[in-house]
Amino acid sequence: MNNYDNNKNNDKPAGLFADKAYEKTLDSPNQDTQPLSTEPSTPAPRMTKKTIASGEPLKLAVVGHTNTGKTSILRTLLRDVYFGEVKNEAATTRHVEQAQLTDNQTGEVLVALYDTPGLEDASGLMDWLEDNTASRRDGIERLQQFLASDIAQGVDHSDNYDYSQEAKVIRQLLASDMAIYVVDAREPVLGKYKDELAILSWAAIPVMPVFNFTDSQDANIDEWQTMLARRNLHISTRFDSVAFEFEDEMRLWKNLSTMLTHSEMLEQLMQRRTENWAQLSDEANIIIADFLINVAAFVREINDSDDPMPVLAQMQEAVRQSERAMQHNLLNLYKFYDNAVAATPLELQAYQQDPFDPELLKSYGIRTTSGAAAGALLGLGVDAAALGTTLGLGAAIGGIAGGLLSNTSSIADRITGIKRLYIDPATLTLLATRSIDLLTALRHRGHAATDATQLIYKGAKNNSESDENEDDNSVTPWPTHKLPSELKKARGKPQWSSLSSGKSEQAQLLRADMAWSLSAKLQSYNHD
């Protein structure tokens, strides 16, 4: 065993019982196992707890049984799909990994998070502790004796004992201010979990159970809470790393703060995160509003004798690409990306479906004129005037074929033989509805979600519902025939649309005020 070095630098951040922990050294053959003497000849200098009071980050250890979703919870708290490694198998995390939550305005680190390996055999470790440590000693001393033993280093294989993973957890626990104990709410209450909690309690720091995967119908939270209460753990919280709720995160930090004498860091974190969450919503609605006005102002002119079909195809493709760009902007805003780590909501069929598909309109309960519902012409119309009524292009083309042009263009356009093609209200309503649905999905999707189907909100109605409730517009943000004033005004402002002018930055500046105005209305349509 190595004796404690009285010349060791004690200026580094220290947890409540860091004087009992076993710190890493660069020259150690095993960096995770550099113990202090359990009974030093000279008493070790005692470090005072100063972390919270001095404004240093709160050190929070994330512990629990293997494969309960510790790394998943951290991914969602960090909004980082790349943190750690998540697999559906035991012992994915093999070493302690650190991450930080900062104040984005000051750059100050508020919380240092430590992802620990899973506890694999707490029952076996408890047996060893009972056989090899004195029950009259307190928990810290018994854990200290364990950390100094060969089995904690993984070098004693005489009886197939290897508790090196548990040693990493306990070492980090002793160097932390507090811990959250992650519980897979789908698991039954077993003896091994009771042993884990007993061992963790010996570290003498606040430990709060956090229930993961609570959205599952197999959750056993009541049984768990009964067991926890018998162990004097009366404060717990729910935080599903896949089916995310911002209120659950705030409750997690609030409950942790009640267990601390000085909770200033967590209170600052809660305030900043609440502000950031609201700001994200504002920015997301502006992205959607800007996209909708850009599409509403989109216009193409053709001569009376021109075949409209090639222009129709070009306009449809431009709208598809514009919607895709808007969707990616939302994904990036909420830090979801198309990558091999986690599937994104855009891989869902609902977001891949062509916005000009008649069945998609029907699934959202959006009805069009009989002419506009015909095939490839769906979603495009001819305006009677800049602020006039819009007919489906199918109906308009049918009228042209019969020589009925009196209500399909303005007088000036009829004189010059020009037809103007716009995106019709039904398509604009569909695009708005699908955008709002995507935003809602992103705000309820944890960053631990690895499956595109792990999306808990779907706004589109099924066909049977649409047929039974033809006049029910509860899914769409507005009735198709009542577009917001900002979209109506965009009809007469083709210069607002980069799709019309090809001048992206200039067009965006011109429509900026209308986008702000429309975004405020979109806030009230959100499903949060």
Strands 418-423 and 109-115: unpaired
At 274-321, the pLDDT tens digits run 999 999 999 999 999 999 999 999 998 888 788 888 888 899 999 999
The pLDDT of residue 29 is above 60: no
Q: Which segments of the chain belong to CATH 3.40.50.300?
A: 58-82+93-261
Predicted pLDDT of residue 131? 93
DSSP secondary structure letter of residue 102: E
Predicted pLDDT of residue 466? 38
If you count them, how many residues does the chain have?
528
Mean pLDDT, residues 111-134: 93
Can you tell me the distance from the alpha carbon of 191 to that of 201, in angstroms, rounded to the nearest whole number? 16
Can you tell me the distance from the alpha carbon of 91 to that of 463, in angstroms, rounded to the nearest whole number? 45
224: left (phi over 0), alpha (psi -120 to 50) or beta: alpha
Please, what is the Cα angle at 369 between 363 and 370, to 5 degrees?
90
Predicted pLDDT of residue 234? 92
* Residue whose token pair is 């911002």: 246
At 154-187, the pLDDT tens digits run 765 556 667 888 999 999 999 999 999 999 999 9
The pLDDT of residue 93 is above 60: no
The pLDDT of residue 438 is above 50: yes
Question: Where is average pLDDT lowest: 92-106, 134-148, 173-187, 198-212?
Answer: 92-106
Average pLDDT, the chain: 77
Predicted pLDDT of residue 421? 87
Contact (Cβ atoms closer than 8 angstroms) between residue 95 and residue 32 = yes
Can you tell me the distance from the alpha carbon of 182 to that of 211, in angstroms, rounded to the nearest whole number? 6
Predicted pLDDT of residue 155? 64
Contact (Cβ atoms closer than 8 angstroms) between residue 503 and residue 297 = no
Q: Higher pLDDT residue, 447 or 486?
A: 486
Predicted pLDDT of residue 475? 81
List the structure tokens of 50: 């100063």
58-82+93-261 CATH: 3.40.50.300
Contact (Cβ atoms closer than 8 angstroms) between residue 437 and residue 459 = yes
At 505-525, the pLDDT tens digits run 999 999 999 999 999 999 988
Mean pLDDT, residues 485-492: 93
C-alpha count within 13 angstroms, C-beta hemisphere, residue 399: 19
Mean pLDDT, residues 12-19: 41
At 195-253, the pLDDT tens digits run 999 999 999 999 999 999 888 777 889 999 999 999 999 999 999 998 899 999 999 99
Mean pLDDT, residues 430-436: 93
Can you tell me the distance from the alpha carbon of 96 to that of 186, in angstroms, rounded to the nearest whole number? 25
Q: Higher pLDDT residue, 276 or 400?
A: 276
Predicted pLDDT of residue 362? 82
Q: How far is CA 341 from CA 338, 344, 358, 440, in A?
A: 8, 10, 34, 22
Contact (Cβ atoms closer than 8 angstroms) between residue 455 and residue 300 = no
